[in-house]
Copies of this chain bind each other. A is one copy, B any other.
Amino acid sequence: MLYITRKERFNAAHKLHRQDWSHDKNMEVFGKCSNPNWHGHNYDLFVTVKGNINPETGFVIDLKFLSHLIKEKVVDKIDHKNVNLDVDIMEGKMASTEVLAQAIWDELADAIKEQGCSLHCIKLYETENNFVEYFG
């Protein structure tokens, strides 16, 4: 059993806010992350896949395939977008890094299973100081 990780990147705008809360309540709970006109981040995404090594290729999974999969299913949907307004997999959800990591898991898990291995972890950096890890 071996774990292999691919890093991809995307940039996006977002804000933390609830429409069913007043502006004051949003600012009290979320602080500057609730700035009405948005703010944004360079997100770093690490996708870790777990599996056995194919003795013929020495691969757990073809990293070219994994990179294309992440780009098609995740990066193309979020990069240079607004997480709250433009991203279908986040519709109706809080635009926190935690919830975004879960949505990315849901996009990738089945397609990775079809390759004979399994998604192990989504690690998502919002800044160099904050990141989350989700193991399904």
Which of A's residues lie within 8 Å of B, judged by CB? Answer: 1-9, 11-14, 16, 18, 29-33, 35, 37-42, 48, 53, 56-60, 63-64, 79-82, 85-86, 93-99, 101-102, 127-135
Question: If the complex has contacts A7-B128, A93-B58, A133-B3, are A13 and B37 also in contact, measured as CB distance less than 8 A?
Answer: yes
State the number of copies, please.
6
Give the shortest distance, in Å, between A19 (CB) and chain B (any CB): 13
26 example contacts (A-B, Cβ-Cβ < 8 A) are as follows: A2-B132, A2-B133, A2-B134, A3-B132, A3-B134, A5-B132, A6-B129, A7-B128, A7-B129, A9-B127, A11-B41, A12-B39, A13-B40, A16-B58, A29-B57, A35-B82, A35-B86, A37-B82, A39-B82, A42-B42, A57-B94, A58-B95, A58-B96, A59-B96, A60-B98, A63-B130
> Which of A18, A38, A59, A96 is most buried by chain B, counting CB atoms within 10 A of its CB?
A38
B residues within 8 A CB of A57?
A: 16, 29-30, 94, 96
A48: nearest chain-B partner, CB-CB = B133
Identify which of B41, B132, B135 contacts A40 (C-beta below 8 A).
Answer: B41
B residues within 8 A CB of A3?
A: 132-135
Q: Contact at A38–B98, with CB atoms within 8 Å?
A: no
Given A3-B135, A35-B82, A53-B99; 10 other pairs, CB 8 A cutoff: A2-B102, A2-B133, A4-B131, A5-B132, A7-B129, A13-B39, A32-B79, A39-B80, A58-B94, A60-B98
